[in-house]
Amino acid sequence: MSEATAADAPAGEPAAPAELMFGVPVTRSRGQVVLHPDRAAYPGLVRELRAAGYWVCVDLCGVDHLGNAADRGLPAGVDPQRFEVVVNLLNHREPGRIRLRVQVPEDDPVVESLVPVHPGIENHERETWDMFGIRFDGHPDPTRILLPEDWDGHPLRKDDPAGRIPVQFKAAPSAR
């Protein structure tokens, strides 16, 4: 099955159309099926996958691709964005795993929450909000989970200033 992208096409020729599975572009990574839905198709795809036997949402995380314009393994027609939400699902009917990679733009870092479909993913979405600033519409508790509520910023964003909290080690001279 093809993983062709526009970069793979010879000069002057259009890229091969992306392979589709469950109606969205698909690639493979280290033998695992990877689906690339857009934000609008994401919640419906997860419901469809659940009906197909993908009952367990193993994890959900955010990725910040700031400064990473290199090939990211996206199929033709999927526009790379700064942020990405990555979800891993397990199928218990026909043992298998599938990964979703949803592109999320920097100027509107919002996707629909999966909590209504997979309630156990609630804290993963809260952590992704806390660390990356990707908001999940419809989440039942959209508050920070790791940092204080008054924290300014999202520390796993690549443009978040590092080391802004001074740390004083025992027996080390003070920086003051």
Query: What is the share, in percent, of the chain residues with pLDDT greater than 70?
Result: 82
Q: What is the pLDDT of residue 1?
A: 36
User: What's the mean pLDDT in 6-27?
Assistant: 71
User: What's the mean pLDDT in 1-12?
Assistant: 44
User: What's the mean pLDDT in 45-49?
Assistant: 98
C-beta separation of 157 from 66 below 8 A = yes
- Asked whether residue 61 carries a pLDDT value surpassing 80, the answer given is yes
**If you compute the radius of gyration of the chain from its CA atoms, what whole number of angstroms results?**
19
Q: Is 162 left (phi over 0), alpha (psi -120 to 50) or beta?
A: beta
Q: Residue 55 half-sphere exposure, CB side, CA atoms within 13 Å? A: 5
Confidence of residue 18 (pLDDT cuts 50, 70, 90): confident
Nearest to 29 by CA among 77, 72, 68, 60: 72
Question: Tokens standing for 140?
Answer: 């039942």
Q: Is 35 left (phi over 0), alpha (psi -120 to 50) or beta?
A: beta
Q: What is the pLDDT of residue 161?
A: 84
- Asked whether residue 12 carries a pLDDT value surpassing 60, the answer given is no
Give 161's DSSP letter: P
User: What's the mean pLDDT in 19-32?
Assistant: 94
Confidence of residue 173 (pLDDT cuts 50, 70, 90): low
pLDDT tens, 107-145? 999 999 999 999 999 999 999 999 999 999 999 999 999
Give 126's DSSP letter: H
Q: H helices within the chain, ranges in order?
A: 42-51, 122-132
Confidence of residue 4 (pLDDT cuts 50, 70, 90): very low
C-beta separation of 98 from 107 below 8 A = no
All structural domains of the chain, each given as residue ranges with its CATH number in brackets, are 6-137 (3.30.460.80)
Confidence of residue 172 (pLDDT cuts 50, 70, 90): low
Question: Tokens standing for 77?
Answer: 């027609």
Question: Tokens standing for 157?
Answer: 């964003």
